[in-house]
A and B are shown apart, each in its own frame.
Chain A
Amino acid sequence: GQNIDQPTEMTATEGAIVQINCTYQTSGFNGLFWYQQHAGEAPTFLSYNVLDGLEEKGRFSSFLSRSKGYSYLLLKELQMKDSASYLCAVLNDYKLSFGAGTTVTVRA
């Protein structure tokens, strides 16, 4: 089975940095994915990691440690538009399983 855990909520100030952690225990692993979902909208793909290490994509970075079953998404220079839910997902063969999501609120 799949067990993917991430914090329920986080709050940060505009311009700050926020780190969203994700831990997973899965029967197989082919990649870890991060999605962003604004309220009332569909999720959109942000980034993925297959190998250990840091992947940087503009203001967003994602890190993976396969041996620890751990990933994080780092959001830098937070903007109000970054207020959203962030979903961690693990690919096992062709099944993509999601965590419950972390709601990030950015305050002015």
Chain B
Amino acid sequence: EAQVTQNPRYLITVTGKKLTVTCSQNMNHEYMSWYRQDPGLGLRQIYYSMNVEVTDKGDVPEGYKVSRKEKRNFPLILESPSPNQTSLYFCASSLSKFTRAGELFFGEGSRLTVL
């Protein structure tokens, strides 16, 4: 089954404790992206990757890091989480060919709470 898998789905942590949210897709997609979703603000792009070893900032990259060492994986790293990073996070992937980059397949989401 074609899917994007995120882990963990739910996490409560404390300020400053480094954490990683993993994302893996089995569709051989070149393009992967991370979004956060907050009430009233919608989905905001954090980082995206057009292919292995190619990443770029989205609209809200501060406080986050990513890496793309393999095509299928695109982890999101919070080096020193703060309460304003409490949010629902979605990983997504798509073919990168021109407009196909906009046809995203989303993971189920990871709800993160930073105390």
Contact = CB atoms under 8 A, between A and B. Distances in A.
Contacts of A96: 33, 45, 101-102, 104
Contacts of A48: 99, 102-103
A94 B106 contact: no
Interface residues of B, number: 27
Given A33-B103, A45-B104, A48-B102, A94 B42 contact: no
B43 interface: yes
B2 interface: no
A45 B103 contact: yes
Nearest to B99: A31
A96 B46 CA distance: 11
A94 B104 CA distance: 12
Nearest to A96: B102
B31 interface: yes
Interface residues of A, number: 23
B98 to A, nearest CB: 7
Interface in A82-96: 87, 89, 91, 94-96
Nearest to A88: B42
Given A42-B106, A42-B107, A98 B98 contact: no
Contacts of B58: 95
Contact of B50 (A42, A94, A99, A101): A94
A95 B45 contact: yes
Interface of B: 31, 33, 35, 40-45, 48, 50, 56, 58-59, 90, 96, 98-99, 101-109
The 7 closest A-B pairs by CB, nearest first: A42-B106, A100-B42, A91-B102, A98-B43, A31-B99, A33-B102, A98-B42
